[in-house]
Chains A and B, each alone.
Chain A
């Protein structure tokens, strides 16, 4: 240890004769003490002493130092299901968040390395590092909002979903409760009784379509006869302002367009059609001669896709990890880019001249040369992730806070946010400290090694 710090020659110790005079020496002693005192007092009182206090306090119960409970706080910590959720989530955090942030940081650093004007890109990625976790939490609370007209994540999810699967047209529409033509469960499908194919149209009345759904709909087509052998009919909104006659197409009642109509033989769909603007549909002649049924498919009536429940109990931890990656990828990128700038260019050029492609250069030269930096970034992020609190506290809505629980949040909840048990809180605090001890060791060793050089 001594050789470490004496590598930087000490300034004192008799390089000038004046320094050896006892008066000067004692004066220097005083000044040394005076300079160090504020730092040591603060560190001692607010960092070192609290660690000792926490060790002792964790052996006492909720009531205070009067109730010695031994190790039972630790027992409760490791059996309480809230804390176990927190430990499980912390494990997910520690594995997932640093890995993805470092991986993305590496990719971004390498992508921007040989591109001019990459500074703007780096600024954009790095910017979230400057803002508070609280602000980032509010930003992502908004991104993940369940309502697709507020949260951009669900707006995109719904947009993509509706592009690839046809949106249902008339959620909530249904036949009148007493209807001899159509029956079925509340949300569809609605099916007619078995019928014989004839030229008589099979008209299917519905009610309950919302005015919004009927916007732009045109007058339902009246009864007509079907072309030979075909099955046809009209699906319409059997209601108009003022009522209208049930089961009859009155003037002013609208046709329901875009509905999927199935032709069933038994339970098998043998043909299908889509209603046109005036609500009419035409199904081809069935090959079988037996009775058939006409069905309005359930997909016409399902509630609209509401998007992903980002902040629900299943996804909440992953969603919050997403916001953390958004914040910290810039950190990884900047450190890795700094490391990248330190790799001798000749090494890569030589490999390229030898015929290595870019992927091989990346795999065999860049990544190994960056290994120390990648290690530092990973470890830094791991320590940081262990202590994550603000993001979880802000982003997780009350209902899924338990599912998103992490150790730092559990500590807060058990000692400050209502729990009021400082014994448990101290045990949790100590657990956090123990988890960062390896990093403390690495830090000290790294420092000593660097100073020994």
Chain B
């Protein structure tokens, strides 16, 4: 594990222990009033931070005519009828519903494959010695920061030669490859912390590598695997560039379908706002359900 990934990181979103009481009454009162000011400041900042998202959410619930007629904030002074109309018409659009399905068909395999392939390799890097292991692992660490842009052109060429350019598989493969350095890095560091005695005891019992991997390492690596899976899931689900390059129109995920809509921005805010919010629902659910794993994955991958 890296230093940043230790216990405090996972608790980063939970409150810090309250300050010890300062001695003097005056000092305490002063502290209380600055505390109040800080609290007020935090409230204002939080509201400020929420306004953009709120604007999108409210817009997505307004009728197209209302959107063109007045700002979304006018619902606070003159509560208009909000409606799910934009969402129902969005999902009735075959291109959009197809793209939602594509998003799932890209994201799920890309996440599973990264976890499986990454865990296999990480186990070897952590616990099996072979010539050149350290060099290979340092190369993997080096690959953490390689910008995907470097590979877009050559991989386009490669996929075209192999004949998978434009398919869902091409998008998945690219995501898996660029997810692997982080996956191996994260899991190897976590696996290396498993007590050696545990592995040796299992070996003495006659367990082979495959058995060790599935029965000892994988269960113990649960937390790190969860972090990785959430991180990779969000990364792939939120990706636009990779799919924009590799996916043809029948393989395009939601992000790419929406990107095409942004060209006529202004006349189609109803489609864009509901579409964007639709694309945010899954990440937000994942985020709120698994904050802890998300944060620890993020801090571990700090230099990605």
Q: Decide whether A and B assemble into one complex.
A: yes
A53 to B266, CA, bound (A): 41
Q: Does A411 contact B (CB under 8 A)?
A: yes
B135 CB, nearest partner CB in chain A, Å:
7
In B49-87, the 8 Å CB interface with A consists of 49-53, 55-56, 59, 67, 69-73
Interface residue ranges of A264-298 to B (CB < 8 Å): none
The contact of B2 among A18, A49, A143, A450, by CB within 8 Å, is A450
**In the bound complex, CA of A429 to CA of B71 (Å):** 41
Q: Which residues of B sit under 8 angstroms from A117, Cβ to Cβ?
A: 15
Cα(A31)–Cα(B129), bound, Å:
12
Chain A residues with CB below 8 A from B130, complex form: 29, 32
Does the CB pair B55–A341 fall under 8 Å?
A: no
Contact of A11 with B18 at beta-carbon distance under 8 Å, contacts A334-B12, A390-B240 already known: no
Residue A48 at the chain B interface, CB threshold 8 Å: yes
Beta-carbon contact of A142 and B200 below 8 Å: no
Q: Which of B135-151 contact A (CB under 8 A)?
A: 135-151
28 contacts between A and B (CB under 8 A): A5-B137, A28-B128, A31-B209, A35-B121, A42-B180, A47-B177, A49-B158, A54-B151, A54-B154, A112-B42, A115-B39, A116-B18, A121-B42, A126-B13, A129-B287, A130-B284, A132-B283, A138-B276, A141-B265, A149-B71, A326-B49, A379-B303, A411-B152, A416-B245, A425-B153, A429-B152, A433-B147, A433-B150
Q: Which residue from chain A places its CB closest to the CB of B70 in the assembled complex?
A: A149
Contact with A along B212-244 (1 / 0, CB 8 A): 010000000000000000000010011111000
Report Cα–Cα, A412/B153, bound state, in Å: 9
A66 within 8 A of B: no
| Chain B residues whose CB sits within 8 angstroms of the CB of A338 once the complex forms | 4, 8-9, 12, 299
Chain B's closest residue to A33 (CB) is B130
The answer, yes or no, to whether A120 is at the interface (CB within 8 Å) is yes
Chain A residue with minimal CB distance to B151?
A50
Stretch from A95-103, A222-230, A312-320, A435-443 that touches the partner? A435-443
Residue B169 at the chain A interface, CB threshold 8 Å: no
User: Please, what's the 1-or-0 string for B77-99, where 1 marks a CB less than 8 Å from any CB in chain A?
Assistant: 00000000000000000000000
Interface of A is mostly: helix
Give the number of chain A interface residues (Cβ < 8 Å): 126
Please measure, in the bound complex, the distance between the C-alpha atom of A334 and the C-alpha atom of B42, giving whole angstroms: 15
| Additional A-B contact list (6), CB under 8 Å, known A125-B49, A130-B284, A145-B266 | A45-B177, A114-B18, A335-B12, A411-B149, A412-B152, A433-B150
Contact A143 B284 (CB under 8 A): no
Q: Is the CB of A134 within 8 A of B276?
A: yes
B13 touches A51 (CB 8 A): no
Indicate whether A408 sits within 8 Å of B238 (C-beta atoms), given known contacts A43-B177, A334-B299. Answer: no
CB of B166 within 8 A of chain A? no
Residues of B within 8 A of A53 (CB): 154, 157
Count of A-B contacts judged by CB separation below 8 Å:
357
Inter-subunit contact A1/B304 (CB<8 Å) = no
A216 at the interface (CB under 8 A from B): no
Contacts of B184 in A (CB 8 A): 39
Contact among B56, B157, B180, B237 with A132 in the assembled complex (CB-CB below 8 Å): B237
Q: Which of A2, A50, A115, A139 contacts B38 (CB 8 A)?
A: A115
* Complex Cα–Cα for A150 and B270 (A): 12
Query: Cβ of A256 < 8 Å from any Cβ of B?
Result: no
Smallest CB separation, A423 vs chain B (Å) = 9
Chain A residues contacting B6 (CB-CB under 8 Å) are 342
In angstroms, Cα B129 to Cα A15, docked, is 13
Instruction: Kindly report which residue of chain A lies nearest to residue B272, judged by CB atoms.
Output: A138
From residue 179 to 217 of chain B, which have CB atoms closer than 8 A to chain A?
A: 180-181, 184, 192, 196, 199-200, 203-204, 206, 208-210, 213
A114 and B19 contact, CB distance less than 8 A: yes
> Is residue A432 within 8 Å, beta carbon to beta carbon, of the partner chain?
yes
Q: Is the CB of A54 within 8 A of B180?
A: no
**CB within 8 Å of B: which residues of A?**
1-2, 4-5, 8-13, 15-16, 18-19, 27-29, 31-32, 35-36, 38-40, 42-43, 45-51, 53-54, 57, 108, 111-135, 137-143, 145, 148-152, 155, 326, 331, 334-335, 337-342, 349, 352, 372-373, 376-377, 379-380, 383, 386-387, 389-390, 393-394, 397-398, 408, 411-412, 415-416, 422, 425-426, 428-430, 432-433, 436, 439-440, 442-444, 446-448, 450
Contact A444 B138 (CB under 8 A): yes
CB of B291 closer than 8 Å to a CB of A: yes
Do B273 and A138 touch across chains, with their CB atoms under 8 A apart? Answer: yes
**Residue on B nearest A372 in the bound complex, by CB:** B3
Residues on the A chain within 8 Å of B50, using CB: 124
Cα(A429)–Cα(B151), bound, Å: 8
The reply to whether the CB of B123 lies closer than 8 angstroms to some CB of chain A is yes
CB of B235 to closest CB in A, whole Å: 10
B250: chain A residues at CB < 8 Å are none
Q: How far is the CB of A85 from chain B (nearest CB, A)?
A: 18
Chain B residues contacting A447 (CB-CB under 8 Å) are 2, 138, 141
Check if A335 sits within 8 Å of B149, measured CB to CB: no
Chain A residues near B302: list those with CB within 8 A.
335, 376-377, 380
Nearest chain A CB to B104 CB, angstrom units: 15
The residue of chain B having its C-beta at the shortest distance from the C-beta of A148 within the complex is B71
In whole angstroms, what is the CA distance A440 to B138 when docked? Answer: 10
Residue of B with least CB distance to A438:
B145
Determine whether B117 belongs to the interface, using a CB cutoff of 8 Å to chain A: yes
* Residues on A with beta carbons closer than 8 Å to the beta carbon of B144: 440, 443
Find the A residue at minimum CB distance from B263.
A398
Closest A residue to B269 by CB, please name it.
A142
On whether the beta carbons of A139 and B46 are closer than 8 Å, the reply is: no
Q: Given A42-B176, A338-B9, A123 and B146 touching (CB < 8 A)?
A: no
Residues in B94-133 with C-beta less than 8 Å from chain A: 117-118, 120-121, 123-124, 126-130, 133
